[in-house]
Copies of this chain bind each other. A is one copy, B any other.
Amino acid sequence: MKLLEDRIRKDGIVREGNVLKVDSFINHQMDISLFEEMAKEWKRRFAGKPINKILTIEASGIGIAAVAAREFGVPVVFAKKSMSINLDHDNYCTKIQSFTHGRVYDVIVSKKFLSAEDHVLIIDDFLANGCALIGLLDLVEAAGATVEGIGIAIEKGFQKGGEIIRGKGIQLESLAIVESMGTDGSIVFRE
């Protein structure tokens, strides 16, 4: 998606260790107008799919998912990263390794909000090694729900996550796929 690629070139910051910071428009400050255009693009790419729910994971997926949900006319469920005393104990649970935070999270979704009747679109901001997505797929599978597709804002094409997910036969729509990043700040996107 050219609009997103252009924005990443303009405002994304490349850091050592293949880190791409997009915190000025995606995951700390959020450009909601951009999210709306991304939502429309996913709506186009997933046209005709019987999606009745969007699933994401806290925290940085929530804003994008909320705006996408408006476009699709469906509710969002966000998976939670740790047990809160306000949550029921009747949850689907998995573990997700976060390389960004250097730890493993317990991730849960209440059984009330994901069931065998659900046709789920998973939305998240980043795809790198795929740990978060595989965790979300575990939760959907545990619920007996159907994954209709996955929408990602930015995929790091040089990490293995995209290949793993596509290998499962799931429709994965990443709106910008970074093929490589240079130490000079240059970014090459996949065609």
> Chain A interface (Cβ within 8 Å of chain B)?
19, 21, 23-25, 28-33, 35-36, 58-59, 62-63, 65-67, 69-70, 73-78, 80-82, 84-87, 100-102, 109-110, 112-113
Contact = CB atoms under 8 A, between A and B. Distances in A.
Given A31-B75, A78-B63, A24 B101 contact: no
A110 B59 contact: no
A28 to B, nearest CB: 6
Contacts of A112: 23-24, 29
A100 B78 contact: no
A86 B59 contact: no
Nearest to A110: B28
A85 B103 CA distance: 12
B66 A30 contact: yes
Q: How many copies does the complex hold?
A: 2
A59 B85 contact: no
Q: Which applies to chain A's interface (DSSP): helix, strand, loop or mixed?
A: mixed
A34 B36 CA distance: 18
Given A24-B112, A59-B62, A85-B100, A75 B35 contact: no
Nearest to A85: B100
A28 B63 contact: no
Contacts of A59: 58-59, 62, 78, 80-81
Contact of A75 (B29, B80, B85, B102): B29
Contacts of A73: 33
Given A23-B110, A29-B112, A86-B100, 8 more contacts: A29-B110, A32-B69, A32-B70, A58-B62, A59-B78, A59-B80, A67-B67, A84-B101
